[in-house]
Every structure is written in C-alpha cells, then in structure tokens.
Amino acid sequence: MSAAVLKPPLAPWPVEDLVCGYGARSGGWYEATGRLAGAAEGPAAIVLGGISAGRRLLDDADGPGWWPGVAGPGGALNPRTGRFLSLDFLGEAARPFPSVEDQADAALALADAAGLDRFTLVGASYGGMTALAIAAAAPERVIRADILCAAARPHPMATAWRAIQREIVHLGLETGRGAEALDLARRLAMTTYRTPEEFAARFDGPEAVQSYLAARGGAWARETRPERFLVLSQSMDAVDIAVEAIAVPVRFLAINSDRLVPPEDVEAAAARMPRASITRIDSLYGHDGFLKETEAVNAFLRGDA
C-alpha cells in the first residue's frame, strides 16, 4: 500500500486529505481517497454516508459537509473533540461494480494511512452497509458500530425502485442524454427517500412538487457521473452481509417511515447478531430522516436515545 497526503482545505481544526493505493480482497488494485479531520488526539471514528456522500464530512473552505447538524461543533460528531475519517466511495474503477467489501478495504487502507489502529464506526444508508462490512473484516479494530437506516441486505422493493432508475440512466446513455436521464432517475429516487405525508404537508399543487424534484434531480446530475451512479446502485443491490459473525457491539437506528430500509429489516439484522441493539424513531422524512432528524440522531450517537 502506498499513501500520500494532499493539501487540505482551510478549517479551524486539523485536516489531512489522503490518497492511497490498496489491494482489495476481490483481487483488484484501486486508489482510495479520504479525509481525516478533527482534534489530533481525539478518539477516532470512520464516518460513512449514502452514495452521494464523500470525504467532506465537515464544513470547510471548499463547501458544506454532508451531515450538517450532526458533524460539526455542537453535533455528536464534534471535530473539536474527535477525529473523523471519511472517504470517497470507489466507483467505476471496479468492474462490474464495487462491492461493500471493496469499500471496506478502502476504508481500512485509509485508516492505516492515517495511523488509526482502533476506531468507532458510524455508517448511514450505503455507508451503514459498508460499516457492517468493515466490522466483519476487522473486528479487532472496531470499538463499536453505530448503523443508521441500513440492514444486512436490501429490501426487494428498494431493489425494484433502483432497477427502474438504472434502466432510465442506461437509456439516457444509449441516446447521448446521460445527464438528463440521471436527473430523472434522481427525481424518482427522491420520492422513495421521503414520505407521502411529507409531500402532502409540504406541497400545494403540482407545480411546487415538480419544481422541487427538478431542483433535486438537476443538482445531482451536475455533481455525479451517470456511470458512477450505476455502479454504486448495483453495489447496494448486491449486499448480503453475514452479520451473525460480527461480534463487536452494534447499535442500529431505524426509522419507522423508512420505505427503502424498513425497520423490520433492521430488526431482523440485529436479531442475527450477538451484541446488537436497535432504536426506532418516528420521522416525517422517511429514509432521509438520518439527515433531517438531527436532534434524534445526535441523541442516538451520544448514547442518549
């Protein structure tokens, strides 16, 4: 494994950008990119989000972090007291698509490069499944895993929704309109992340909801390559983690209105594990509750829930 430290963005706490080559268990050789940010001597955690999340967990001079209200001063993931490693998920370099085990190997390689021997895991959505893969691969390094809105395998309905999104993007790429297709796929995805109750309370008439979906789809299409979306979407649907072998303490947070990762699937995963517990919360925001319910999420991560 080789590693390099890049010039980090300005921030009021230490920040290191890391790049390292690593050999994955699948046999491929890949490049991992991540960021270590926070108090130099603080307790370490690897923090992973959904497929739209990357190494910028915390606000800095380059832009906002992906977990506002949770990662930052005042949140449970406070860079003034702790150190946090996040990464850019492996994408099209892995063929036909990266597995969560490949992502886990990337996170462990970056932890080695950062000098983190032991750490807590915090993972939400796709990052939660990756965190479970890390706990399975390196239990001796994991203090505890906090898993939000993720289970051991995808629900068939979630796979069905994602399969339709992938077909939309494939059609777009075949006709030279990949970005437009990704925009539409993201609009569809937003209707699965959120709840009918939120939309009914938030939007009055078709123009408002259509404008919202157009904004969300357009923003995603400007930031993401269609090919990257396709391989990460496939990666989610291929997950099947043998969680019964995970012996480290695991705390799950499930959201009662989550249609992508129903709480029953989270409970089923927890029941297969020797040291797992589960907290369930209500939310108007469905799967996106891990991003929106900052008070409840902070309480869970602090152990107050």
Q: Render pLDDT for 224-253 as a digit per residue (tens, 0 to 9).
A: 999 999 999 999 999 999 999 999 999 999
**Predicted pLDDT at 62:** 78
**Predicted pLDDT at 13:** 86
User: Is 155 known to be catalytic?
Assistant: no
Asked if residues 90 and 32 have their Cβ atoms less than 8 Å apart, the reply is yes
SS3 assignment, position 43: coil
Residue at 191: amino acid letter:
T
User: Is 258 known to be catalytic?
Assistant: yes
**Predicted pLDDT at 2:** 46
Q: Render pLDDT for 192-213 as a digit per residue (tens, 0 to 9).
A: 999 999 999 999 989 999 999 9
User: Which residue among 60, 258, 265, 288 is the active-site one?
Assistant: 258
Domain 2-153+239-302: state its class. Answer: alpha beta
Size of the chain in residues: 305
pLDDT under 50: residue ranges of the chain: 1-2, 5
User: Which residue among 99, 125, 235, 283 is the active-site one?
Assistant: 125
- Compute the distance between CA of residue 143 and CA of residue 272 in angstroms, rounded to an integer: 19
User: Is 26 known to be catalytic?
Assistant: no
Element (H, E) at 22: strand 15-23
**Predicted pLDDT at 11:** 74
Q: Domain 156-236 belongs to what architecture?
A: Orthogonal Bundle (1.10)
Domain ranges of the chain: 2-153+239-302, 156-236
**Predicted pLDDT at 10:** 65
**Predicted pLDDT at 195:** 97
Asked if residues 83 and 40 have their Cβ atoms less than 8 Å apart, the reply is yes
DSSP assignments along 181-238, one per residue:
HHHHHHHHHHHHHS-HHHHHHH--SHHHHHHHHHHHHHHHHHHS-HHHHHHHHHHHHT
